[in-house]
Each structure stands twice: as structure tokens, then as C-alpha cells.
Amino acid sequence: MSYDVPDQELMTPGHVACPGCGAPMAARYALKALGDNTVLIIIASCWSIIAGPFPYSAVNVPLLHSLFATGGSVASGVKAGLEARGLKDTTVMTLAGDGGTFDIGIQALSAAVERNEDFIYMCYDNEAYMNTGIQRSSATPWGAWTTTTPVKHPKEQPKKDMVAIMAAHRIPYTATATVAYPEDLIRKVKKAKSIRGSKFLHVLSPCPSGWKSEPAQSVFLSRLAVQSCIFPLYEVEHGEEYSITVWPRKKVPVEEYLRLQGRFAHLKPQDVQYIQDNVDREWDKLVAKAKATGQQVPD
């Protein structure tokens, strides 16, 4: 086998994700990393539906569906309950969308990680409220079309930097990952599992339906996001130590990533340049942080 990926499958086919959706990919890899001594919590998001209706489930681990804003709070309760029952080694992971993480659930998430609750919080970020039909969230990138940021008035605010917010809580481990790099994602989930305390993973998850992209290109887009530095893959430990885990082979212009998505079709060249400038600046800042931590930076 040419990939360093566990064989065990804890997700079954028959789930109802759209063809080419990144969300089941993220969950499948996460579950491979965690194994079956895991309790999964899914808050209102596409995965609430992807998991299948009563009386079926698409995952072979205990799964608790919960309310939209409760990703951090339910997990805290579940962890406490499992420990009270003597199941001290069972991993608790919340799987939440960007809406439930960046917006309605941010309070409970912040509180849970401030308390350093022992759980993993994985946000699969498709950059809008996709389950309700593509409305903008604070994770929607600048300039993107959504149904509530129509073409005549696209999103004017930059994407909220959730990793920075989590890092500011000084939790033991924060990381980004995406579905085109499963080995990197799996390594990060395994690392998270081995740490006691709060672990936050931000996973970019392409959505052909909401991004207006080809289903076949979801992995390709996810890779482009990394290679163009729009979505760098890195880790932050204790809020201070940065290290970049996948270096782009050759920094690709953001235009290549944007033009494959209908949600950016209305952008003018100056808009693309604006995005490029921001990406470049943020990337340089990130590289500087990695350097300051002592990471060797390739040319």
C-alpha cells in the first residue's frame, strides 16, 4: 500500500452526501485515525443529514446528534459522563460545520477550550451554511457569492481566522488540514488523540454544490488551496509554536483556484489581485511565525 493510512473503515457507503463532497472524506479519515473507541458528536450541519435518517447510521462508532450551538458544551458533558462510567480512554470528537463553529457555536466552543476540556473539535469548513442552502457564514471568504451575499453584494468581510482565535486560548494543539492530504490529516488527528486537553482541527472541505465546482475536482481544489497558500496546512502548539506541515511545491497563483469555482465567477481582475495580495501577506506572516519557532524553511 502506498499510503500511510489505516485500513479500518468506520464509515459506510449509502450516506447521503452530495457526489464529490469533502465532508465524508474528512470524517472517514478522522475515524481511521481514531479507531472505534470513539464517540462522535455531530451538531446541526450537513453531516446531520449525511449520517443517514432514523433508524440508520453511516458510522460504526457511537454518534450523538446535537443542537447547532452545542458542539463545545455537549462534548464536555459526554466526556465527563464517559469518565464517570469508567471509560477514560474513549476519545470524544465533535464534528461541526463552519456555521456551528465560527458563528452560532463559537461561544460554547470558546468556553470548552478555555476550560481545556479533553476532546477533539473538528470543524469541516465548506465556507457557508450549506445544509440550509448556501447562506454566508463568517467563514465565507471575501468576495464569494452565497445566497445571502449575492453577486451584486458579495461578502465584504474577510474570512474569520478561527485558528488564531483557538490559538489565542493557548490550547495544547490547533491545526489545519484538508482532504487532499489525508496522511497529513490522519497524522494530525492521531496527534490530537494522544494529547490531553482541547484540540481544534480546521479542515477545508470543498462543496461542489455551494462552491459551484465540478464534483470530480474536489480533491484537486483542496490541493490547489494549499498550493496557492489560500489554506496553508500548519500546526500551533500551546498557542505559540507554529510549524507548517505541507510546503507548497511551487506557489500557485490564487487565480487558478478561484476560476474553478462558480462562486467566484463574478470577480474582476482587481478583486483577484486583492485576494492574491492578502494571501501573500498572510503566508509571509505565517512563514515568519514558523521561522520564529525554529522551523527550517525550504527555499
Partner 1 sequence: MSHQIVFKTEADMPLLPMSLGSTLYNKTGSWRYVRPIYRNKTSPCNQVCPAGEDIVAYLGMVAEGEYEQARQRILEENPFPGVCGRVCPHPCESECNRAQLGGAIAIHAMERFLADLPMERTLPALEPTAPANAKVAVIGSGPAGLSCAYQMARRGYKVTVFEALPVVGGMMRVGIPSYRLPRKVLDAEIASIVALGVEIRTSMRFGNDLGFEDLHDYQAIFLAIGQHRSRKLNIPGEGAQGVLPGLEFLRQVNLGQKAHVGSTVAVIGGGNTAVDASRAALRLGASKVVVLYRRSRHEMPAVADEIEEAEQEGVRLEFLTAPVEVLTNNDRVTGLRCVRMRLGAPDESGRRRPEVIPGSEYTIDVDTVIPALGQEADLSFLDERIQTEGGLILITETGATSHQAIFAGGDAATGFGTVAHAIGSGKRAALAIDKYLRGQALNGFPSLTAHVRAAPRDVDPTVVRFEDINLAYFMEEPRTPQPQRPATERIRDFSEVNLGFAEGDALREAERCFSCGTCNQCDTCWLYCPDVCILRRDGDGYEVNYDYCKGCGICAQECPRVAIAMEEELKWRK
Partner 2 sequence: MEKVIMGNHAVSYGVQLARAQVIAAYPITPQTQIVEMLSEFCADGRLDAKFIKVESEHSVMAAVVGASMAGARAFTATSSHGLGLMHEVLHWAAGGRLPIVMANVNRTMGPGWNVWTEQTDSLAQRDTGWMQFYCETNQEALDTVIQGFKIAETVLLPVMIVLDAFVLSHTMEPVDIPDQATVDSFLPPYDPKFTLDPSDPHAFYGLVTPEHYMELRHKMHQAMQKAVEVTRQVGAEFGEVFGRPYDVVEKYRIDGAEIVLVTSGSITSTARVVVDEWRADGQKVGLLKMRMFRPFPFEAAREALAGARKVAVVDRNISQGHGGIFAAEIRSALYGASHQPVLFPFIIGLGGRDVTPHSIGSILNYAQEHDVPAEESIWMEVKE
Spatial distance between the Cα atoms of 28 and 7, rounded to a whole number of angstroms: 11
Q: Which is nearer to partner 2, 116 or 243 (CB)?
A: 116
Q: Is 64 in the site for partner 2 (CB under 8 A)?
A: yes
Please give the residue ranges that form the binding site for partner 1 (CB under 8 A).
1-3, 5, 9, 11-17, 19-22, 24-25, 28, 51-52, 54-58, 60, 63, 179, 182, 208, 214-220, 223, 249
Q: Binding string, 30-59, against partner 2, x = CB under 8 A?
A: ------xxxx-x------xx-xxxxxxx-x
At its nearest, how many Å lie between partner 1 and the CB of residue 17?
Answer: 6
Cβ atoms of residues 192 and 201 within 8 Å: yes
Q: Which is nearer to partner 1, 16 or 80 (CB)?
A: 16
Q: Which is nearer to partner 2, 79 or 188 (CB)?
A: 79
Q: Is 93 in the site for partner 2 (CB under 8 A)?
A: no
Q: Which is nearer to partner 1, 42 or 162 (CB)?
A: 42
Spatial distance between the Cα atoms of 104 and 137, rounded to a whole number of angstroms: 10
Spatial distance between the Cα atoms of 48 and 213, rounded to a whole number of angstroms: 23
Spatial distance between the Cα atoms of 299 and 282, rounded to a whole number of angstroms: 18
Q: Give the H/E segment covering residue 227.
A: helix 218-227
User: Angle at the Cα of 148 (from 146 to 151), degrees rounded to 5?
Assistant: 60
Q: Binding string, 70-89, against partner 2, x = CB under 8 A?
A: x-xxxxxxxxxxxxxx-x--
Q: Is 116 in the site for partner 2 (CB under 8 A)?
A: no
Give residue for cell 494549499.
Answer: 226
DSSP E strands in 160-268: the ranges are: 173-178, 198-204, 233-237, 241-246
Q: Is 60 in the site for partner 2 (CB under 8 A)?
A: yes
